[in-house]
Amino acid sequence: MAKTNPGRFFEDYAVGDVLHHAVPRTVSGGERALYHALYPARHALYSSDEFARGCGLPASPLEDLAAFHMVFGKTVPDVSLNAVANLGYAEGRWHLPVYAGDTLRAESEVIGVKQNSNGKSGVVYVRTRGLNQRDECVLDYVRWVMVRKGNLELPAPETFIPELNEAIAAKDLVVPDGLDFSRYDFSLAGEPHRWDDYEVGEQIDHVDGVTIEEAEHMLATRLWQNTAKVHFDTTARPDGSRLIYGGHVISMARALSFNGLANAQMIVGLNGGAHANPCTFGMTIRAWSEVLDKAETSAPGVGAIRLRLVATSGDAPFQLKGDDGKYRSEVLLDLDYWALMPR
Amino acid sequence: MAKTNPGRFFEDYAVGDVLHHAVPRTVSGGERALYHALYPARHALYSSDEFARGCGLPASPLEDLAAFHMVFGKTVPDVSLNAVANLGYAEGRWHLPVYAGDTLRAESEVIGVKQNSNGKSGVVYVRTRGLNQRDECVLDYVRWVMVRKGNLELPAPETFIPELNEAIAAKDLVVPDGLDFSRYDFSLAGEPHRWDDYEVGEQIDHVDGVTIEEAEHMLATRLWQNTAKVHFDTTARPDGSRLIYGGHVISMARALSFNGLANAQMIVGLNGGAHANPCTFGMTIRAWSEVLDKAETSAPGVGAIRLRLVATSGDAPFQLKGDDGKYRSEVLLDLDYWALMPR
Amino acid sequence: MAKTNPGRFFEDYAVGDVLHHAVPRTVSGGERALYHALYPARHALYSSDEFARGCGLPASPLEDLAAFHMVFGKTVPDVSLNAVANLGYAEGRWHLPVYAGDTLRAESEVIGVKQNSNGKSGVVYVRTRGLNQRDECVLDYVRWVMVRKGNLELPAPETFIPELNEAIAAKDLVVPDGLDFSRYDFSLAGEPHRWDDYEVGEQIDHVDGVTIEEAEHMLATRLWQNTAKVHFDTTARPDGSRLIYGGHVISMARALSFNGLANAQMIVGLNGGAHANPCTFGMTIRAWSEVLDKAETSAPGVGAIRLRLVATSGDAPFQLKGDDGKYRSEVLLDLDYWALMPR
């Protein structure tokens, strides 16, 4: 009996299956320190217990994207080991902050399958939930990937494509219990701009850039126990380069966005995202944002802002797609998310 | 008076000497997070406090190899600063798990010396013990190294070669107090294979590979406070490359072995080990294992498995030695250890 | 309204201004583990809670230089974003150890300005204080930088150059409450040399070297939330190399100085410092020290030692300046500090 995990193929997924992902993880101050070492992350709520307490939380939570990566990493052996491409995200919501001492695990339900016309692969849709040690859902999201078929002779399954919202409605965003921005310290947070200062359609160039190093993206990717070999093994790809985990680009771009969006503190919704082009060693990542929407919340002093976050390997902001409607070659990431800001 | 440590030479060791190694170290969640960032480590007992509690332990311990490296690192200034080669390990046992908050120190007793026939160096055998803040032994092992002679005119000491067991007898393995695998969660652990599923002689290809980066092995080696200059200073070796700490290869191979041996949770015995060839920047490390022995233990649901773990810079598994009986040039590590698995 | 921070220009500083720096930071065991992974740091007081308790402290503090970098990093967006050069340090004192769980913030008072004769830049002097969550000052220091002028047409401000002490007087050094070296364990600390064994004028070659890697200095610099782009973005400098944060060189040299100064445990004073030449990727850093002064303290068994710490990219120690009185090209750092040692 072979002991190693060959990964699942397209035919191994059926709508309604629930996959219980392996290797739960307890977080500590170590994950926070490493996150700050790996990314130029400066959002005060995630840096200072005192600042978080001033906002009504018991302590500084784990960065929302770190929680996302940790949950995502657990799904890789069951969902994307034989994936050809990560196609999209939708309906992502953060339900509960994660604190030092919490233990995360993950499970995914298959919510859609569609074989490709070439018969060699198919698209699998899963809704993944991250759970803490009290079995509370800390975050969930839908992701769809293209997966190779193992046995080409098997018939195509019945196509089922889930209906997905184009964006989380503002009323469905979960504001953490107790969150209160009414005594928010803008000086400690680093910028004076409040929710009211941002306009839909406004674009922000985050100015700074970080050139990618191999050791850094590998440290990050392993920290989330994402062990997909393309991220680590230079012999796994024809060109001898490592493919950088898309989540590394997301976290880098989000951290760079501090410069102009220092007060977009908590990420609470992931409406969608595309890894437009692969990222490899030596690229200098820059980021820009666009305000897509704004909404009030019932929490004191808390507004919600919907943002497009674009990471690029080029040096000109605000360029997204060419005349052909396709992403420009330098665009690495186009992410659509909701954050909470002081009003 | 010279203030820097010149290291000990062969003539500075006498059988019966006890060396008290410097720089005790308190561990925290930071060491665990870094271990997971540096290696694709996924064994659940070391990742989740909840999983560890489900196995009868009070919390998730520090990885056994991290505890080993930490103890080993402390011995370097006293044992191997002038070493020509690390020749072997024997009789290694883990006696107590190490938890966040514990402080480790180390001491070594010289248990053998043998001058080489060329009169320029000799072999020193030491038994090293790692101790916690309660002076309890957390692990011990024998190691022998070839050390340069400082004063060639001194007479050779009387040769004393300790008798060492070829392997730890299964009955001498220490199973941590309270360890209980009778309610072991194979789904959370990541693989269904239990102790009964492995046969002596079985070989497992761990499939994945990781290409070595300079920054990573230096971070790892420093984390264990191993400051031997060949690992850090590119001018210290004639070819301008850094020699990678053998323990980095051990941890990388062990972590890769998760794929096929996810349930070989706790390392409790080190029977022997050879760093067959040096590892340097750019090599892609792969690993394979062979089941050497199996034994029952008296702890509920706990079996012991003796494994050969081989790290290679090649891409073909199960190749160890050539027709000449010597390790093949791509073999980096041949390690012989005991682990505890659910039955 | 532009949302990104353009940084302050010379004309934006006036004597008496107080700058409240952003992004407070709570420290944990993670920062300690990372510090030990990034530098060959081995001073026992900062490695072991037990050792620290044996010296009268409640636990092992955060490395003094880590506290310094953390405070320094916070000042970058307000003080040195448009800086041409970091010119000097003076009157630095550590007032309180920083422990896991403490939250640091920083503020700076402008204490001097002097426009350069070219009218394009000027020198700004600030006194920066690091504060903990109880608003206690944990460290303070004076720093002066050359800053570009934004609007060249503005008149020069009245020149004010603060009077700065050439060194902290020994009587003004703050010895932490309870510090007691009378039962100091020299064996655990790693070297037998006590305060009495060092003579003014004595020079120590710290022997070891570390070759700089890009990923490492970036991890370090980000960990202190210093986001100055020259450290991260290879496109920000004409030669395509990253400029390494001077604090990385300070910490590397200090850690290397363990070999010969293992008992110079706590840094309590920063008399001055010059980043003599830029440090870039691939340099091998070595260090040497010179004893500049010694003083007694009233704490049991505690002596103060004033040290020059020099980091060099060359391989010959004890070379500082050429016949022209300027730093030799291989000298990276010339630091003057006070440390506490067992007598």
| CB–CB contact C23 A189 (8 Å) | yes
Q: Can you tell me the mean pLDDT for A147-169?
A: 96
- At B189, is the pLDDT very low, low, confident or very high (cuts 50, 70, 90)? very high
Q: Can you tell me the mean pLDDT for A199-209?
A: 96
Residues from chain C that touch A207, judged by Cβ atoms under 8 A, are 4
Rounded distance, CA B324 to CA B343, Å?
Answer: 39
- Residues facing A321 on adjacent strands: A327
pLDDT < 70: residue spans in chain C: 1
User: In the complex, which subunits touch C with 3 or more CB pairs below 8 angstroms?
Assistant: A, B
- Per DSSP, the residues of C123-150 read EEEEEEEEE-TT--EEEEEEEEEEEE-S
pLDDT in tens, C307-326: 999 999 999 999 999 999 99
Beta carbons of C332 and C184 less than 8 angstroms apart: no
| Single pTM value for the model | 0.96
For B28, C67, C91, C192, the CA distances from C31, given in Å and listed in that order, are 10, 10, 26, 29
Residues from chain A that touch B216, judged by Cβ atoms under 8 A, are 215, 218-219
Chain B: closest CA distance from residue A237 (Å): 12
For A187, C102, C172, C224, the CA distances from C135, given in Å and listed in that order, are 16, 11, 21, 20
Indicate if the alpha-carbon torsion angle C315, C319, C321, C327 is positive or negative. Answer: positive
Query: What would the two tokens of residue A340 be?
Result: 């909470």
Question: Which residue type occupies A89?
Answer: Y
| CB–CB contact A40 C215 (8 Å) | no
User: In the complex, which subunits touch B with 3 or more CB pairs below 8 angstroms?
Assistant: A, C
In the block, residue with structure tokens 């990573």: B216
Chain B residues at the C interface, defined by Cβ less than 8 Å, are 1, 3-5, 20, 22-31, 33-34, 77, 100-101, 103, 105, 133, 213-216, 218-220, 222-223, 225, 227, 229, 232-236, 242
Which of A25, A36, A71, A223 to substitute to test the interface with B, most B CBs within 10 Å?
A: A25
Determine the pLDDT at residue A1.
52
Question: Does residue B310 have a pLDDT over 60?
Answer: yes
- At A228, is the pLDDT very low, low, confident or very high (cuts 50, 70, 90)? confident
Q: What is the mean pLDDT of chain B?
A: 96
Rounded distance, CA C144 to CA C157, Å?
Answer: 16
Indicate if the alpha-carbon torsion angle A301, A304, A309, A315 is positive or negative. Answer: negative
| CB–CB contact C213 A215 (8 Å) | yes
Rounded distance, CA A176 to CA C161, Å?
Answer: 50
| CB–CB contact B24 C188 (8 Å) | yes
Chain B: closest CA distance from residue C112 (Å): 41
pLDDT in tens, B121-167: 999 999 999 999 999 999 999 999 999 999 999 999 999 999 999 99
Q: What is the mean pLDDT of chain A?
A: 96
Indicate if the alpha-carbon torsion angle A296, A298, A303, A304 is positive or negative. Answer: negative
Q: Beta-strand (E) ranges in B119-241?
A: 121-131, 137-148, 203-205, 210-211
pLDDT in tens, C36-60: 999 999 999 999 999 999 999 999 9
Residues from chain A that touch C28, judged by Cβ atoms under 8 A, are 28-30, 32-33, 100
Rounded distance, CA C76 to CA B272, Å?
Answer: 52
Determine the pLDDT at residue C238.
84
Residues from chain C that touch A191, judged by Cβ atoms under 8 A, are 3, 5, 22
Least confident of A181-185, A253-257, B240-244: B240-244
Residue in chain B nearest C41 by alpha carbon: B225
Query: What number of other Cβ atoms are within 10 A of residue B230's Cβ?
Result: 14
Chain A: closest CA distance from residue B58 (Å): 13
Three-state DSSP class for residue B110 = strand
Among the listed residues B138, B144, B137, the one whose alpha carbon sits nearest the alpha carbon of residue B122: B144
| CB–CB contact C222 A36 (8 Å) | yes
- Residues facing C127 on adjacent strands: C109, C142
- At B1, is the pLDDT very low, low, confident or very high (cuts 50, 70, 90)? low
| CB–CB contact C47 B33 (8 Å) | no
Residues from chain A that touch C39, judged by Cβ atoms under 8 A, are none
Query: What number of other Cβ atoms are within 10 A of residue C7's Cβ?
Result: 18
> CB neighbours of A33 closer than 8 A, spacing ≥ 6?
B30, B33, C28, C30, C31, C33, C34, C223
Residue in chain A nearest C226 by alpha carbon: A40
CB pairs under 8 A between B and C: 134
Q: Beta-strand (E) ranges in A36-136?
A: 83-94, 103-115, 121-131
Query: What would the two tokens of residue C304 be?
Result: 């103060």
For A61, A294, B33, B97, the CA distances from B100, given in Å and listed in that order, are 20, 44, 12, 10
Chain C: closest CA distance from residue A248 (Å): 14
Chain B: closest CA distance from residue C276 (Å): 22
Indicate the Cα dihedral angle C317, C323, C329, C333, nearest 10°.
60
CB pairs under 8 A between A and B: 135
Beta carbons of C111 and C79 less than 8 angstroms apart: no
In the block, residue with structure tokens 């402390």: B74
| CB–CB contact C205 B133 (8 Å) | no
Beta carbons of C179 and C340 less than 8 angstroms apart: yes
For B18, B140, C296, C321, the CA distances from B270, given in Å and listed in that order, are 22, 9, 50, 53
Question: Does residue A272 have a pLDDT over 90?
Answer: yes
| CB–CB contact A47 C30 (8 Å) | no
Three-state DSSP class for residue B61 = coil
Query: What would the two tokens of residue B67 be?
Result: 């505890």
Rounded distance, CA C186 to CA C262, Å?
Answer: 9
Determine the pLDDT at residue C231.
94
**In angstroms, how far is CA B95 from the centroid of its own chain?**
15
Q: Can you tell me the mean pLDDT for A111-138?
A: 97
